[in-house]
Each structure stands twice: as C-alpha cells, then as structure tokens.
Amino acid sequence: MTSRIQQLRSALIWLALIIPSAMLIGSICAGFLMSLHYVTDARFASPWFIYLLPLGGLLVGLLYHHFGGKSDEGNNLIMDQIHAPGGGVPTRMAPLVFLGTIITHLFGGSAGREGTAVQIGGSIASTLCRRLRLDPDSVKVLLMCGIAAGFGAVFGTPIAGAIFALEVLMIGRIRYESLLPCLIAAITADWTCRLWGAHHTHYAISYLTSIDPPSAFFHLELGIFLKVILAAILFGLAGTLFAKLTHGIGHVFKSTIKYPPLRPFIGGFIVIGLFHLVGTPDYLGLGVWSNNPDAVTISSLLSSPEIHHWSWFWKLLFTAITLGAGFKGGEVTPLFFIGAALGNVLAWVLNAPPSLFAAIGFVAIFAGATNTPIACTIMGIELFGATHGIYLAIACLIAYYASGHSGIYMSQRIAIPKF
Amino acid sequence: MTSRIQQLRSALIWLALIIPSAMLIGSICAGFLMSLHYVTDARFASPWFIYLLPLGGLLVGLLYHHFGGKSDEGNNLIMDQIHAPGGGVPTRMAPLVFLGTIITHLFGGSAGREGTAVQIGGSIASTLCRRLRLDPDSVKVLLMCGIAAGFGAVFGTPIAGAIFALEVLMIGRIRYESLLPCLIAAITADWTCRLWGAHHTHYAISYLTSIDPPSAFFHLELGIFLKVILAAILFGLAGTLFAKLTHGIGHVFKSTIKYPPLRPFIGGFIVIGLFHLVGTPDYLGLGVWSNNPDAVTISSLLSSPEIHHWSWFWKLLFTAITLGAGFKGGEVTPLFFIGAALGNVLAWVLNAPPSLFAAIGFVAIFAGATNTPIACTIMGIELFGATHGIYLAIACLIAYYASGHSGIYMSQRIAIPKF
C-alpha cells in the first residue's frame, strides 16, 4: 500500500511538472503559428520581400553567431541530451529559433516549423530540469515530453507527437517508459494551442470522401495497393535524398564560407536566383497555403487532380539550400510538400488517384527521412482519417525500409538495424 | 550492389513464404467466422442447445485429452516458441481449436475468437517452419506473422494485428524487425478473409456521428477527458480482475478435477446454473449480436444509451468460468463486451455519453488485460474512426498502467517494468 501511495505521489509530481510546461509550450507554439501566418500573409502582400532574404539571412546568422551558443545544433542537441544528459539545452534556443524561423519565413526562405516547435519544447523542458536540478532519468523523460508537446501542438496531432518523441531517438525500437508522460504533454500542449485559437490547416483528400459508412474505416483495392508499394520505395529514397542533399549543402557552405553569418546571406542570393529560374514563388516559405488559387501548395496537391511534374524536385532544392545555408525552421513541412508533390506526379505515372497519392507521399517521405514509421502512420490517420489507414501504414513502413539508415537527424541512433 | 541484390532476393523469399501462408490463414479465418455465425444463429434458433453445453464440454475435453498433445497450452505455447524456438507449435492445434471453439459457441459457452484465430495462425506458421527447416530467427518472424495474420483477419483490423504481434510478446518495448512482415501478413490475411465474404460486425458509436468535417478528426472536451481518465483506471483494473479470475478458476478446476475432460463437463453445468440465475441468454456465446433486439450485446452497448448496471460483471463471470473450465475460444471478444458494459455503467455514474464510454471501455480493458496499448489504440481507430482517437489513446495507456504487470497471457515477458 505504501508503494501505491508513493507511486501516486510520484505521478502527481510528474503531472505538476508536465502539465504547466506543456501549457507553456502549447502557448508559445500558438504564438509561433500565428506569427507564421502573419509573416506569410505579409510576404504574399509584398512579394518584393524576397529580395531582402539575404539580409534576413545575415540577421539570423548574426543572431546565432553572437548569442546562439550551442543553439545552432538544434534538434540534434536535444536528442544528444536525451541519449546522454549533460549540459542541457540552452534556454535561449527557444527565443532564437522562434525569431530565426519567423525571419526566414517573412522573407520567403523555404523551411518548416516542426524543428522550431521541437526546439522550443526541448529548450523549455531543459530549462525546467536545470532549475529543479532533476536527475538524469527525469531529464530524459522531460526532454522527450518537450519534443512530444512541440510536435503535437504545431501539427495538431498529439498521438503522433507522443509516438514521434519515442520513435525518433532510436531506429528500430520503442521503449514505453515515457509514453504516458509524452502523451499527456502532447495532448495538453495541443489543446492549449487550440484554446488560443491557433489555426491548423485542415487537410482533406478529395479521393473517396463520400464513401458509405460501412466501408468508411476500411478501403483497399489490390491495384492501388501495389502502386502504393512501388511509390513508397521512391518516397523513402526521396527522403534520403533530401537528408543527404541538405547535409551536403550544409557541408559545402561550412567548408567554403568561414564566417557563419555570411552563409545564409549568400544562401539568400541563391534562393533568389532559383526563384527567378523557376519563375514562381510557390516554392518559397511554408508551402501549405497561398493567396494565389492557382499556386501549388500542400492543400492544392491534396485536393486537385492537376499534375505538377517537377514541383517535388524544386521544393527539395529550395529547402535544401535554405536550410543548408543556415536559415531556421523545420524540415518536416517542406518534406510534406515534397512527398505530396512526388505523390502527385507518381499518381500520373502509375495511373492512380493524385489526391490519395499526395496524402500518402506527405507522410511516407517523412517516415523515410526521420525513421519514424508508426508516428507517421498515426499522423496520417490523425490528419486524413482512418479510411486510407492501410495504404498509409504500408507506405510509411516501406519508405522507412527504403530510406536505409540515414535520416535528417544526425543524432538518431541505431538500436536495431533495418536489415 | 551485391548486398542490395541479396536483400532483394531475401525479401522475395520472405514474400513467397508469408503471402501464401497469410492467404491460407485468412481463408481458414473466413471459414471460422462463417461457422461461428452459423452456430450462433443455430443456438439463437434453438435456445435449448444450452442444456447440451456439458456434453459439448466433455467432447472438447476428450478431443484435447486424446489428440491435443501440447495444443492445450494455446496462445502461451506460441509465445514461448517465439521467445525460445524449440519443438514448435503442433499442426493439430489449428483443427482442434477451430472445432473446440465452434462446439463451445454452438452450445452457448461464453468465449471469444481471437485466441482461436491466433492459434490457427501460429500453428500454420509453425508447420511451415518445420517443413522448411527454417533457422530459429526466421521461425520467430514467421510465428509473429501468424499471430498478426490471425488477429488482423478475425477482427478486420490489420494494422492493429501487426502491432499486436509485436507488442504482446514483451511488456514495455517494441522491436521493429518483424513489423513489415507482420503488416504484410495481416493485410493479406484480412483481405483474403474479406474476399471470401466473411462478415465483420461494423461497430458505430452513436455519440457525435455527424460532426462537421473540420473537427471530424479531432474532438476533445475537458470534462469528458477527465472522466475518461477515471474510467480508464477501472477498465485496467477490470482487465486484471478478468485475467486473475480466469486463471484462478482454471487453477481450481485443475486442482479439484483430476481427469481433464470432466472439467468443461462440470463447467457446462455451472454456466447453465448461472444462466438460470440471471434469467437471460445475453451472456452466452460471443455477445456481439443477437436475434433479440432488446438483448445486451456489444452492438447495443455502442449504439443505445440504455444503462445496464451489472452486465459487465455477469459477462466476466460467465467467461471466466467457461474458459477456466477448459472450453475453447478467445478472451478478447468477451473482454470487449465486459469493457463496453463497464463503460456503459461508468457513463451513467460519471454522467458521460454511454456509447462513447462503451467504445472506450471496449479497447481499454483489452489494453489492460493484454498489455498492448498501442495496438489497442490503433484498433479503436480502425474500428471507430479517428474522431475519438485522443480519448482512445489516453484510455488504453492509462488502463495499461492500471492493470499492473499481470495479464491474460502467462508467457508474456517483462522487458521494461511499467513503474
């Protein structure tokens, strides 16, 4: 009985730690999502902002160079601190990555938001751990809660957020110790974020939206299933290509430009050049929505059957240069775009429904690039409903295998090799 | 390049092993589901069949006593053979458990079907391994595929089936090696089963069926959320109670009745006595549907707001005696009933929507009794759609913690203690 009381006491202490931190993380994520919306609309209203991208890059670079400390290591630093708790994640990482991402998006850098949210979550959780002088085991759990909270809130997918925090650390294994704290953190943060009125894009697949209830939770056609498997191999390879290209470009920038703030400055000019080369602003910024109804966006790829042959390639290049040069933001939303656009063109090649393949590509490329197949399957179901669950699950898993052992997070460890 | 070719070759060999076996398992499961439907309808048409239950029990007992060998160890034998491949699972387990379950249901024993499907899957997979003299590592993977195929086909929930096969072996950890083979096996078996026209009950929650699309994939109210957490603790405890009572009654039968075939014979009389005590046939058989529209069934609990105060307790008792005495069938469908009925009465106590709490109890008690929270969350989403995903996830996880380290499978090992 005493041990039951101790367990209850320990559970209450954990709740008292997790719930307020998750509410804080959710609130900051709400502010972040709203700011992102605001600066993206500002850029749509004043398209010439793109010409300030090099200056924006210089500003981000100077901020990180003079005030960043270890903040520049981003998500990898958080993962390292979970694997081997040490100096922790600096508090300043949260405001810096918030500001850096907003600047990147205001001037049209092609980047995402999950990295930002995860870093905000990790930085707040780590700060709390330092203040309370928690032991290393508790630090691990709380940092994972920070990841789950940030991820769950920024995408509005708390179950996926909790599983992601468990799955992203190690390839090939999940340990359950932190599952409940992570789920509570993700639900709390997501909820807080919604209470603030933060906007999550509602994604809808136009394919099979109005099927009968009896089959609504299960739908499978052999032809489409086999096409999904073929496409999933390419989604996985595209995930690897994205990771390698981003790291490779980052390496080139680091080895050729010694003064760090200059790297995003130069990177900004390259993005401007690319923008003039392709002649469309569709690959700038987040890519989720646009003020131009004819633009290629994640939403348009999911709803329209129109085919865009090379959108996936351009978005991949724009993003690899933006992030490789040192701009801030996440990799995941661009990955969604690249996957959806690749799904769109593969649907054309394979004679399959473009909106369905866009949705499958959206999550499968992410599963390949981050090695998190279960989180991505659940995310697909949280975003698109359960109707296409089987396609989503098999695609995420095949992409996971096809992408090999590399990924966008250098600090991910291999617990069990894929093959 | 050579290693890529070797990988491809190995993948093709695996597919050649898994797909035909899964199709066979799916076909047998289809036959099993149809037979189950047939005998259940026969019992509804002739309610006096219940008085033959002791004789049915004797028949099942004699079959297993004279021809069973190690078959009586059921699911635990399969799990042991995965942990430490040895003599394998006997081929006869498949026909014996098929027949034993059909007899149990024809005469109104309170039992399920997942154990049967899993044992059919495991037995076929093990037979294949023996014929092909596979190495122990391959045996493990193929046996897990058998579990996934049986579970996925019998419930029509392949993603949950694949995760279940991974999750059920060890408490607190998932390893990914077998995830892809298991998913392929589960999808193939489920699909084959559907192609045969096997019927899966479509469960629908009457609460919030027609909410707007924008919130269709996410719905959360604080009051309901807190009530779900309270209820989930009781679902977890009920899962433990079920496991302990079934094992305890089994122990009493074994220690007091030395000749095994007599145990279900005596058990049959006890079930008849209970039937007369409660005065309703609602707790006999599977409990999914009934020919009487006023009966308590899993379907009625999910769709009707009528409260049944003690249904959960009676179903628990009927099932613990039926299975403890040595009748055949699974534990899971009765657990669904018990959980749904407990959810129904807890909704009344807590002033919450009965259909929603029935659905949550349905999966949460199963998560508690089998220690498989992720599979149960996914199963809930596969069965009920994504709308209530958050409630399902938190309930499964809380029930998992509340149930402690015991469960219905004695051969489950503890990889990482829950607390």
CB contact under 8 A, B174 and A179: no
Q: Distance from A39 to chain B by nearest Cα, in Å? A: 24
Which among B7, B159, B379 is the top mutation candidate for probing chain A, defined by the most A β-carbons within 10 Å of its own β-carbon?
B159
Chain A residue closest to B215 (CA)? Answer: A202
Which among A218, A229, A371, A398 is the top mutation candidate for probing chain B, defined by the most B β-carbons within 10 Å of its own β-carbon?
A218
Task: Look at residue B353 in the predicted model and tell me its pLDDT.
Answer: 92
Query: Do B289 and B299 form a contact (C-beta atoms < 8 A)?
Result: yes
Chain B residue closest to A388 (CA)? Answer: B382
Q: Distance from B121 to chain A by nearest Cα, in Å? A: 21
**Residues B50-107 pLDDT 10s:** 999 999 999 999 999 999 888 888 899 999 999 988 888 999 999 999 999 999 999 9
Task: Look at residue B218 in the predicted model and tell me its pLDDT.
Answer: 52
Task: Look at residue B2 in the predicted model and tell me its pLDDT.
Answer: 65
Task: Look at residue B355 in the predicted model and tell me its pLDDT.
Answer: 92
CB contact under 8 A, A159 and B377: yes
Instruction: For residues A395 and A206, give the distance between their C-alpha atoms in angstroms, rounded to a whole number.
Output: 19
Instruction: For residues B245 and B250, give the distance between their C-alpha atoms in angstroms, rounded to a whole number.
Output: 8
Query: Do A314 and A284 form a contact (C-beta atoms < 8 A)?
Result: no
Q: Distance from A419 to chain B by nearest Cα, in Å? A: 8
Give A-chain residues touching B169 at CB under 8 angstroms: none
B338 Ramachandran zone, left/alpha/beta (phi>0; psi -120 to 50): alpha
Instruction: For residues A363 and A361, give the distance between their C-alpha atoms in angstroms, rounded to a whole number.
Output: 6
Q: B209: pLDDT confidence band, cut at 50, 70 and 90?
A: low
Give A-chain residues touching B225 at CB under 8 angstroms: 187
Give B-chain residues touching A381 at CB under 8 angstroms: 381, 386, 389
CB contact under 8 A, B159 and A183: no
**Residues B189-208 pLDDT 10s:** 999 999 998 877 777 777 76
Chain B residue closest to A225 (CA)? Answer: B187
More confidently predicted of B404 and A214: B404
Task: Look at residue A218 in the predicted model and tell me its pLDDT.
Answer: 52
Give A-chain residues touching B378 at CB under 8 angstroms: 378
Give A-chain residues touching B373 at CB under 8 angstroms: 176, 179
Comparing CA positions, the residue from A120, A117, A114, A139 lying closest to residue A129 is: A139
What is the mean predicted confidence (pLDDT) over B274-295?
93
Give B-chain residues touching A179 at CB under 8 angstroms: 373, 397
Give B-chain residues touching A418 at CB under 8 angstroms: 176
CB contact under 8 A, A218 and B156: yes
Give B-chain residues touching A218 at CB under 8 angstroms: 156, 382
What angle do the packed helices A114-132 and A93-106 form, to 10 degrees?
170
Low-confidence stretches of chain A (pLDDT < 50) are: 210-217
Strand, helix or coil at A413?
strand
How many other CB atoms are found less than 10 A from the CB of residue A405? Answer: 13
**Residues A285-323 pLDDT 10s:** 999 989 898 999 999 999 888 999 999 999 999 999 999
Task: Look at residue A210 in the predicted model and tell me its pLDDT.
Answer: 46
DSSP string, B174-198: EE-TTHHHHHHHHHHHHHHHHHTT-
Residue B213 has pLDDT above 60, yes or no: no
Q: Which two tokens stand for residue A319?
A: 């993003």
Instruction: For residues A244 and A248, give the distance between their C-alpha atoms in angstroms, rounded to a whole number.
Output: 6
Q: Is the dihedral of CA A62, A63, A68, A73 positive or negative?
A: negative
CB contact under 8 A, B176 and A172: yes
Q: For residue B188, give every residue at least 6 positions away whose Cβ sits within 8 Å of its Cβ, in sequence order, or none.
A: B18, B19, B22, B23, B26, B149
Rg of chain B over Cα atoms, rounded to whole angstroms, equals 21
Residue B10 has pLDDT above 80, yes or no: yes
Comparing CA positions, the residue from B345, B370, B344 lying closest to residue B356 is: B344
CB contact under 8 A, A183 and B394: yes
Residue B335 has pLDDT above 50, yes or no: yes
Task: Look at residue A46 in the predicted model and tell me its pLDDT.
Answer: 95
CB contact under 8 A, B202 and A214: yes
Instruction: For residues A154 and B206, give the distance between their C-alpha atoms in angstroms, rounded to a whole number.
Output: 31
Instruction: For residues A349 and B136, give the distance between their C-alpha atoms in angstroms, rounded to a whole number.
Output: 42
CB contact under 8 A, B390 and A214: no
Q: Which of A174, A381, A416 faces B386 most closely, judged by CB atoms?
A: A381
Q: Distance from B178 to chain A by nearest Cα, in Å? A: 10
ipTM value > 0.85: yes
